[in-house]
C-alpha cells in the first residue's frame, strides 16, 4: 500500500467514528441508525433519512452516541406525535437525571423543547431515549454547541 492510500484509509476511519455535521455546525443523529432495543424502524415521507423509530412498549430504548468536545450544548429531539396522550418520551443524557419530554405539537414532524447540557471532557456522550407513551415516532436528534 502506498503512503497516499494509507492516508486515505486513515481519513475514512476517522470520519466513521464521528457524528455527521449538518448545516451551521449542527450534529444530526438519525434515530433509525442508533442502537435500538425493542424499537421498530418505520418509513415516513418527510422524515430525515425517510425513516423514524417507534417506541413500541415500556422496554423500548434508543441509545444515541455523539462524539463531542468539552463544552456546552443544546439537544433537540424531532418526531411525530399522533395525539396529546401520545407525545411523551424519556431522555437521559450521560449519567444525568431522566427527563420527560414531549414533541411540541401533534400530527406533524416537530421538535421537542431544547435541552441544555455540558460535556466535561472530549469523547463519546450517550443519550438514552426511552418509552413514556405509545405511538411516538422519533426521527432524529440535533445537537449544537452553545455559549
Write down the least CB distance from residue 12 to Ca ion, Å. Answer: 24
Query: Nearer to Ca ion by C-beta: 42 or 118?
Result: 42
Where are the extended beta strands (E) located within the chain?
27-30, 35-37, 39-43, 51-55, 61-68, 71-80, 88-93, 99-102, 110-111, 115-119, 123-131, 137-146
Write down the least CB distance from residue 44 to Ca ion, Å. Answer: 8
Write down the least CB distance from residue 39 to Ca ion, Å. Answer: 12
What's the half-sphere exposure (Cβ side, CA atoms, 13 Å) at 111? 9
Write down the least CB distance from residue 49 to Ca ion, Å. Answer: 4
Query: Nearer to Ca ion by C-beta: 130 or 137?
Result: 137
Question: Which parts of this chain interact with Ca ion (CB under 5 A)?
Answer: 30, 47-49, 51, 139-140
> What is the phi/psi pair of residue 4, to 5°?
-65, -45
Query: Nearer to Ca ion by C-beta: 139 or 142?
Result: 139
Query: Nearer to Ca ion by C-beta: 119 or 131?
Result: 131
- Given a contact cutoff of 8 angstroms between Cβ atoms, the answer to whether 73 and 117 are in contact is yes
Amino acid at each position: 500500500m502506498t503512503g497516499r492510500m494509507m492516508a486515505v484509509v486513515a481519513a475514512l476511519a476517522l470520519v466513521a467514528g464521528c457524528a455527521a455535521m449538518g448545516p451551521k455546525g449542527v450534529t444530526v443523529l438519525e434515530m433509525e441508525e442508533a442502537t435500538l432495543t425493542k424499537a421498530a424502524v418505520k418509513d415516513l415521507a418527510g422524515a430525515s433519512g425517510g425513516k423514524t423509530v417507534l417506541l413500541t412498549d415500556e422496554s423500548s430504548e434508543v441509545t444515541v452516541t455523539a462524539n463531542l468536545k468539552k463544552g456546552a450544548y443544546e439537544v433537540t429531539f424531532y418526531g411525530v406525535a399522533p395525539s396529546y396522550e401520545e407525545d411523551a418520551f424519556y431522555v437521559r443524557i450521560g449519567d444525568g437525571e431522566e427527563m420527560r419530554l414531549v414533541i411540541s405539537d401533534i400530527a406533524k414532524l416537530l421538535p421537542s423543547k431544547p435541552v441544555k447540557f455540558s460535556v466535561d471532557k472530549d469523547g463519546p456522550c450517550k443519550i438514552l431515549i426511552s418509552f413514556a407513551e405509545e405511538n411516538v415516532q422519533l426521527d432524529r436528534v440535533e445537537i449544537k454547541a452553545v455559549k
